[in-house]
C-alpha cells in the first residue's frame, strides 16, 4: 500500500509548481505594464513633437471656414483628436482627424474620418497612416495630413456643386433667367413676402425698378 506521505509530497509539489507559475506570470505582467507605461510616456513626447506639424494646419482649416465650422478638440492619454462640424444647408458634415496608438503602444496611428449625411455621392470616408513609435516620419506625416485636408476641401466644394444635393436649393434670377444654388445669390429682394434671388446687383437693380417703390431690399 502506497505511503500517504508520498501523496502529500506530490500534492505539495503541485501547489508549489502552481505558486511558481503564478509568481512568474505576475512578474511578466508587471514588466509588461511598466514597459507599456514607458512607451506611453514616449508617445506623449512624440505627440508634443508632432504638434508643430498638425496644429497650424488644423487651425488653417478652421480659419478658412470661419463661422461655418465648430471644432471640438479632445486630448486623452494616448489619443489626440479634432472633430470638425461644418454648417451647410445641404448636408450634415463631420470630419475627425485623430492621432492614437495601438494596444501595445508600439505605433503612432493617424486617422481621417469623414461623415456626410445624406450620402448622395462618392467620397473618401476613411484614411489611415501609421509609423513605428520610434520611427515617425514627420515629413511623410505632414504630407499625408496636407493631402487629406485638401481632399476634404475638394469634397466639400463638390458637394455644393452636386445636383443631387442642390435639387431642393436651386433658385432662378427673374431677370437673367439663370438657375443657381440659393447660397450663391449675390443679392435678394423681398416683395410682398416673397424672396427673389439674383446673380448680381445689376439684375437686382433692374428687377427693383419694375416693382413698387416700397420693396424691401436685403443685400447679402
Q: Are 76 and 182 in a shared domain? A: no
Whether 137 maps to a domain, the answer reads: yes
Query: Model confidence over 89-139: pLDDT tens digits?
Result: 888 999 999 999 999 999 999 999 999 988 889 999 999 999 999 999 999
Query: What pLDDT is attached to residue 213?
Result: 47
125 and 177 share a domain?
no
Is 4 domain-assigned? Answer: no
Q: Which band of pLDDT confidence, cut at 50, 70 and 90, is reported for residue 216?
A: very low
Same domain for 190 and 104? no
Q: What is the mean pLDDT of residues 55-81?
A: 95
Of 137, 159, 181, which residue is a domain's last? 159
Mean pLDDT of 74-86: 94
**Shared domain check, 184 and 120:** no
Peptide bond into 118 cis (omega under 30): yes
Whether 37 and 74 map to the same domain: the answer is yes
H/E segment holding residue 44: helix 4-65
> Which whole-number Å values give the CA distances from 32 to 26, 37, 93, 107, 179, in the listed order?
10, 9, 41, 16, 65
Task: Say whether both 116 and 211 belong to one domain.
Answer: no
User: Does residue 190 sit within a domain?
Assistant: yes
In a domain, 164, yes or no: no
Radius of gyration, alpha carbons of the chain: 31
Does residue 2 sit within a domain? no
The verdict on residue 26 lying in a domain is no
Q: In terms of domains, do 148 and 175 share one?
A: no
The reply to whether 56 and 150 lie within a common domain is: yes
The pair phi, psi for residue 144, each rounded to 5°, is -60, -45
Structurally, how many domains does the chain consist of?
Answer: 2
Please check whether residue 77 lies inside any domain of the structure. yes
Residues spanned by the domain of 212: 169-219
φ and ψ at residue 165, rounded to 5 degrees: -75, -30
Mean pLDDT for the chain? 89
Does the residue 23 lie in any domain? no
Shared domain for 41 and 147, answered yes or no, is yes
Amino acid at each position: 500500500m502506497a505511503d500517504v506521505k508520498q501523496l502529500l509530497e506530490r500534492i505539495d509539489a503541485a501547489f508549489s509548481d502552481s505558486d511558481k507559475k503564478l509568481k512568474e506570470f505576475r512578474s511578466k505582467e508587471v514588466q509588461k505594464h511598466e514597459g507599456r507605461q514607458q512607451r506611453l510616456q514616449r508617445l506623449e513626447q512624440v505627440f508634443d513633437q508632432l504638434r508643430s506639424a498638425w496644429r497650424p494646419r488644423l487651425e488653417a482649416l478652421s480659419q478658412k471656414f470661419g463661422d461655418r465650422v465648430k471644432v471640438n478638440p479632445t486630448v486623452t492619454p494616448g489619443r489626440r483628436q479634432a472633430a470638425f462640424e461644418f454648417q451647410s444647408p445641404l448636408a450634415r458634415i463631420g470630419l475627425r482627424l485623430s492621432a492614437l496608438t495601438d494596444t501595445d503602444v508600439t505605433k503612432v496611428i493617424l486617422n481621417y474620418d469623414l461623415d456626410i449625411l445624406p450620402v448622395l455621392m462618392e467620397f473618401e470616408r476613411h484614411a489611415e497612416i501609421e509609423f513605428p513609435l520610434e520611427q515617425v516620419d514627420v515629413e511623410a506625416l505632414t504630407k499625408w495630413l496636407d493631402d487629406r485636408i485638401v481632399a476634404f476641401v475638394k469634397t466639400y466644394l463638390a458637394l455644393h456643386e452636386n445636383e443631387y444635393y442642390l435639387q431642393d436649393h436651386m433658385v432662378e434670377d427673374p431677370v437673367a433667367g439663370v438657375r443657381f444654388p440659393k447660397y450663391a445669390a449675390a443679392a435678394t429682394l423681398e416683395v410682398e413676402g416673397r424672396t427673389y434671388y439674383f446673380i448680381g446687383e445689376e439684375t437686382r437693380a433692374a428687377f427693383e425698378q419694375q416693382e413698387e417703390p416700397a420693396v424691401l431690399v436685403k443685400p447679402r
